[in-house]
């Protein structure tokens, strides 16, 4: 039974998670484009959000890039380049560790802001909070793997993870066998990572795909805040936090709010 669950989780679940993420994100874009964004709460506790968001995004981009290259590069290529398994393991440990700490501090600031500021808490969807908690947990689990990785800096375990990921990439679910004896912390980390993939189309995580595309294709426009003066509505007429724009198209305005 244990073996069956292992093959289900590490042989087949990855295909389910990636398929749901890709097809779900395309369908969401196709059917419900205007919900495709990360809900903004930037006007509340702006400083904490900027610091948290910058640290989180810097760390996470390095981590995801590192995971992608580190896990999916064929071992033959690493050997061909003459990089020893030990050097690669130490590089992953140091670079991943630093990026992980930076991302963890950022995620903690964002989570604290969302949970403990009553106004932000009220304006947050439950799923926004759940996703942030899961990401926080995922980084914490990832960082705690370093304790076990330090027990085998020769890169032995890392080669097993690479063989597993490469096997899946070449459509061999049986490659789950490579990580059958690995420590439970790694396994929990991988399953939660896959679950985050699976949840992407249903949550704000979907902006992972839209943000870079919209940033690159954004039209040139300038947003100018209207000076209050003759003819401007009195401040009391606008709800607190309402942005005031003049110039720019409606779509440009909508996009500005989306990327915050």
| 9: nearest Cα among 206, 201, 177, 159 | 177
- Closest of 246, 243, 247 to residue 257, by C-alpha: 243
Q: Is 57 annotated as a binding residue?
A: yes
120 binds ligand HEM (CB under 6 A): no
Instruction: Find out whether 207 is annotated in a ligand binding site.
Output: yes
* In the complex, minimum distance from the CB of residue 114 to ligand HEM, in angstroms, rounded to a whole number: 16
- For 41, residues 6+ apart whose C-beta sits below 8 A from its C-beta are 49, 114, 120, 123, 124
Stretch that binds ligand HEM, among 28-36, 75-83, 185-193, 228-236 (CB under 6 A): 185-193
152 is in an annotated binding site: no
How far, in Å, CA of 146 to CA of 200, rounded? 26
> d(Cα 106, Cα 89) in Å, to the nearest integer?
25
With contact defined as beta carbons under 8 Å apart, do 126 and 93 qualify?
Answer: no
Q: Which of 243, 248, 247 is nearest to 260 (CA)?
A: 243
Q: Using CB under 6 A, pick the residue from 133, 196, 208, 259 that binds ligand HEM.
A: 196
Tell me whether residue 62 or residue 252 sits nearer to ligand HEM (CB atom).
62
| String marking each residue 71-110 x if it binds ligand HEM according to CB under 6 A | ------------------x--xx--xx--x----------
Instruction: Assess 160 for contact with ligand HEM (CB under 6 A).
Output: no
Residue with the closest Cβ to ligand HEM?
A: 96
Q: Is 186 in the site for ligand HEM (CB under 6 A)?
A: yes
DSSP string, 20-77: HHHHHHHHHHHH-GGG-S----TTSSHHHHHHHHHHHHHHHHHHHHHHHHHHHS-HHH
- One residue of 11, 52, 106, 142 binding ligand HEM per CB under 6 A: 142
By CB under 6 A, which span of 136-144, 170-178, 202-210, 239-247 interacts with ligand HEM?
Answer: 136-144
Annotated binding site for heme b: 57, 67, 189, 207
Q: Which residues bind ligand HEM (CB under 6 A)?
A: 60, 63, 66-67, 89, 92-93, 96-97, 100, 135, 138-139, 142-143, 145-146, 149, 158, 161, 186, 189-190, 193-194, 196
């Amino acid at each position: 039974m244990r073996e069956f669950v292992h093959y289900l989780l590490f042989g087949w679940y990855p295909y389910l998670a990636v398929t749901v993420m890709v097809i779900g994100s395309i369908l969401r874009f196709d059917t419900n484009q205007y919900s495709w964004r990360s809900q903004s709460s930037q006007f509340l506790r702006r400083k904490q959000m900027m610091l948290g968001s910058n640290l989180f995004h810097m760390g996470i981009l390095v981590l995801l890039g590192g995971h992608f290259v580190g896990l999916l590069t064929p071992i033959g290529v690493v050997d061909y380049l003459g990089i020893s398994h030990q050097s690669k393991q130490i590089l992953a440990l140091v670079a991943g560790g630093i990026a992980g700490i930076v991302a963890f501090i950022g995620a903690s600031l964002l989570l604290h802001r969302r949970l403990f500021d009553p106004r932000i808490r009220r304006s947050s969807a439950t799923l926004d909070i759940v996703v942030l908690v899961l990401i926080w947990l995922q980084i914490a689990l990832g960082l705690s793997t370093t304790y076990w990785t330090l027990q085998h800096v020769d890169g032995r375990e890392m080669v097993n993870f690479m063989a597993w990921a490469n096997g899946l990439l070449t459509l061999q679910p049986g490659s789950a066998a490579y990580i059958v004896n690995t420590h439970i912390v790694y396994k929990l980390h991988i399953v939660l990572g896959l679950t985050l993939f699976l949840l992407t189309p249903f949550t704000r995580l979907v902006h992972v795909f839209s943000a870079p595309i919209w940033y690159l294709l954004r039209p040139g426009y300038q947003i100018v805040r209207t000076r209050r003066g003759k003819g401007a509505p009195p401040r009391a007429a606008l709800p607190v936090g309402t942005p005031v724009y003049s110039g720019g198209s409606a779509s440009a305005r909508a996009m500005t709010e989306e990327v915050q």
